Amino acid sequence: MAHSQSLAQRSGVVGGFIRTMDVLSRITAYLAAALFIAGVLVICQMVFIRYILGMSTSWQTEFTVFSVTAAMLLGSPYVLMTGGHVAITILPDALGGLPQKLMRLAASLIGLAFCAALAYGAWVYVWEAWEGGWTTGTVWNPPLWPALLPMAVGATLLSLQYIAEILRGEN
């Protein structure tokens, strides 16, 4: 497998950075899976409470939205690392060689720029929510910053994973 072989050949700071990002991406993928499962279980609990017991629910919908959204955001670095993202590669594949590498590098740099801008904005948003004591304004009314934190962490890790993929040189 080329991916494992090139990783094994990397040493020094660059290799350490790539390996560290790969480990962090795997860890957040497990966290994402746990959050997704939690969201599904809470939906099942909500259906039982609401439709079987006939009681009202207050926090389940909001928790599910937060947990599933966090799962998507925290799982994105792993998706990038494993090449699981959707890509239209007909033109680069047709060109091959240096043009293909340059097109993939350009796409990675654009993705990196977008994710870095998103990470910056997300951290500002988390800070404002923390400082302002913002809440969701719903019946449950939890603080907003924990729901925003996965966006900032996920976008930051995705940016760092883009750097790792560029340094890996397989793009």
Domains held by the chain: number = 1
pLDDT tens for 67-85 read: 999 999 999 999 999 988 7
Angstrom distance (rounded) from CA 119 to CA 17 = 19
Question: What is the extent of the structural domain holding 126?
Answer: 2-168
pLDDT tens for 128-143 read: 999 999 999 998 999 9
Q: Is the pLDDT of residue 94 over 90?
A: no
Residue type, 133: G
Phi/psi of residue 48, nearest 5 degrees: -60, -50
Q: At a CB cut-off of 8 Å and minimum separation 6, what does 104 contact?
A: 92, 171
